[in-house]
Structure 1
Amino acid sequence: MSSLSPSRRTRRTLALTAVAATAALAFTACAGEPSPVTKAVAQAAAPSPTATSSVVSSIQPAAGSVSGGTVTLTGTNLGKVGAVQIGGQPATVTQASNDKVVVSVPAAANFQAGSVPVTVTDKSGKPVTTAGSTTYDYQVQTPVDKQLAYALTYWKNYNTAQYGDLNPVGGDCANFVSQTLIARGWQMNADWYNHDAAEDWSPAWGYVPSMDQYFRENAASLGLTEYSFDQRDKIKVGDIVMFDWNNNDSLDHVQIVSAVQNVNGQIKIKMVGHNEDSDYRDLDEAITVDHPGATGHFWSLSK
């Protein structure tokens, strides 16, 4: 028999009843709206909204040239960003602060247009949350874009229906370079032309020595500047490379620059063209391995 007085037994019963009611509310709330007790416990247990995590809120501009460009990522805690990839290619971070990261966009793979993913990781390699769009839209916008998009489309699969194939009469390299210049925006004229899929073509269009002479005689109007192979710092994608394989003052070959790379402080030139059909042929390999002692020059385009 309890030794508690009636009044104390009553207070104890009321307290137990309150505890039981609270527990019941917390339990039944699992099937519906959380009870105040559950909310308080959850709020106490949950970490604060990661004041130290990085979040990318926008990518501007969200579209740009297939030749590359610059984008700015905005958000919070972006000083922790370690790497950015656009279309699976590394994008160099040129400026970083707490709320902004400026990135150099690489050229699109094979200069082809399309939407590609943007991924951002922090310095530990963990993905950074992106609140907005996670894609970048490569577009063919400039004359160089059009030239390189054409070149990387037809370097292997010739556009014979429109321009024919001059391999049977000595080689198709100049014919192909001329085609890329048409894609860039040049116009045929009385000295430089290819009609009816190579049924009728001029030497300046399809014969390397005559092409070089045409460039030299019309350099100012065509926007061309000649540079030696030692002046690679002047060269850009879309420029023209002339070769004299035998160093006998008679040009043999021509290609278009498809990439300019800085490798350990040295400028490497890659080329696209016909005869040896290639998309990223290395200039140094061409003049040391393929044709030792070969010489040549660049024609850099401003139009």
Structure 2
Amino acid sequence: MLLAFGALVVGGGLAGCSAPSGARAGGSAPVAAASEGPAVRTASPATVSVRGGTQVEVRGSGLAEVTAVRIDDVDVPVSSASADRVVFTAPGSPDFVDRSVAASLRAGATAVGTATLRFGAVDGTDRQLQYLLRYWKDYNPDYQPLGSTDCVDFTSQSLLERGWEQQGLWTHADSVAQSGGAWISSTMFRDFMHAHPELGTALTDDERAEVKLGDVVQFDWDGTGDRDHTGVVTRITTEGGRTRIGFAGHTTDSDYRDVDDAITKDHPGGRAFYWSLA
């Protein structure tokens, strides 16, 4: 299904009737027929990712002057515009929620057309992020929590939503303490990932610019070489040329906990590591 766009005709008027040939001076002057103004006909895809990054293509006429698409009062620049085609990259949805919002194609200060932009989960990573934001504080009653050390258990739950299949030491038991070691231990999860490179690639904190939403972050609080905490990346921003990362997790229940705060204020001298998931 294509996005529902409402076309707006710009600059049109009623066409008049020209005077007959040879009309006397002082008669009505000819009025030219109004030309067709900009209009939007179709757009695709029907649903854009809640985490952002979906390329949207709008088709219509008179679109060459479009410079931005206004969504939530923010102007999103277009990557290309021609007479019959506009392309832009949709932003994410706050807290990764499914929703429909009005979008306006803008040519300067003029609205060329309006749209209903539909955000939804288009893949496993979107479903994972939605799960994290739903249950970071109000725990999923379908899972028994692992007391005050539930961080890897919660991460593992989200990876099931992403589409991972249980295997080896990464398995869940209804009595959570009986789950496989990689499901409930940060260090054993690290070892499991090293044994399964098809699932993800290890990154250091110096490589955080390569981290993606939905990747796993782990911490060594005390420099002993093991892993003391695990979470999932839910926010990536750039400030002053530096990448900042927020993550969701249990134990210290959080939705967008800042990595830099975790390794400086909360655990001075701590180190962060990442798994860039396939």
Partner of 1:127: 111
Does the 8 Å contact 1:92/1:105 carry over to 2?
no
The residue correspondences of 1:268-283 to structure 2 (distance < 5 A) are 268-283=244-259
Choose from 145, 163, 166 the match for 2:143. Answer: 163
Taking structure 1 as reference, are residues 99 and 206 closer, same or farther at Cα in structure 2, changes over 3 Å only?
Answer: same
Quick one: which of 184, 198, 210 aligns to 2:162?
A: 184
Q: Deviations over 1:244-290 (max 9, x none)?
A: 12223232111111133344433222212223222222222322233
TM-score between both structures, scaled by the size of structure 1: 0.73
Q: Amino acid of the residue matched to residue 75 of structure 1?
A: G
Aligned residues: 254
Distance 1:258 1:157 in 2: 17
- Pair 1:209 & 2:187 matched: yes
In the alignment, the residues of structure 1 paired with residue 217 and residue 91 of structure 2 have an alpha-carbon distance, to the nearest angstrom, of: 23
TM-score, length-scaled by structure 2: 0.79
Asked if residue 260 in structure 1 is aligned to residue 236 in structure 2, the reply is yes
Displacement, 1:86?
3.9
**TM-aligned CA distance change 1:138 to 1:44, over 3 Å:** farther
Measured after TM superposition, the shift of residue 298 of structure 1 is 0.7
Within-5 A mapping of 1:28-67: 49=34, 54-67=38-51
Which residue is equivalent to 1:219? 196
Mapping for residues 1-303 of structure 1, pairs under 5 Å: 49=34, 54-68=38-52, 69-86=54-71, 90-124=75-109, 126-130=110-114, 134-159=115-140, 161-166=141-146, 168=147, 170-196=148-174, 198=176, 200-216=178-194, 218-220=195-197, 222-302=198-278
**Pairwise CA distance, 1:87:** 5.6
**Greater gyration radius:** 1
Partner of 1:4: none
CA distance in 2, matches of 1:262, 1:95: 24
Q: Matched residues in 2 for 1:90 and 1:251: separation?
A: 42
SS at 1:78 equivalent:
coil
User: Displacement, 1:190?
Assistant: 4.4
Supply the distance in 2 between the matched residues of 1:98 and 1:192 (Cα, whole angstroms).
Answer: 53
Question: Identity of paired residues, percent?
Answer: 34
CA distance in 1, matches of 2:97, 2:203: 29
Alignment match, 1:27? none
Range moving further from structure 2, 191-200 or 243-252: 191-200
The structure-2 alpha-carbon separation of the partners of 1:252 and 1:117, relative to structure 1 and needing over 3 Å to count, comes to same
1:271–1:282: 8 Å Cα contact kept in structure 2? yes
Which amino acid in the other structure matches residue 120 of structure 2?
Answer: Q
Once the two structures are TM-superposed, the CA of residue 54 in structure 1 deviates from its matched residue by: 4.2
- State the distance in 1 between where 2:29 and 2:243 align: 58
User: Residue deviations 1:4-59, cap 9 Å, x none?
Assistant: xxxxxxxxxxxxxxxxxxxxxxxxxxxxxxxxxxx769x989997476x6433332
CA contact (8 A) 1:163 1:194 kept: no
CA distance in 1, matches of 2:173, 2:72: 39
RMSD: 2.9
1: CA distance, partners of 2:222 / 2:177: 30
Contact kept, 8 Å, 1:62 with 1:135, in 2: the verdict is no
Contact 1:219 1:225 in 2 (8 A): no
Higher-helix-fraction structure: 1
Question: What is the deviation of 1:120?
Answer: 2.6
Q: Structure 1 unaligned runs (5+)?
A: 1-38
Gaps of 5+ in 2: 1-15, 19-27
Q: Tell me, yes or no, if the aligned pair for 2:71 and 2:101 is still in contact at 8 Å.
A: yes
Structure 2 residue matching 1:194: 3-state secondary structure: coil
How far apart in 2 are the matches of 1:46 and 1:172? 76
SS at match of 2:251: coil
Cα distance between partner residues in 2 of 1:263 and 1:46: 57
Separation in 1 of the partners of 2:208 and 2:60? 38
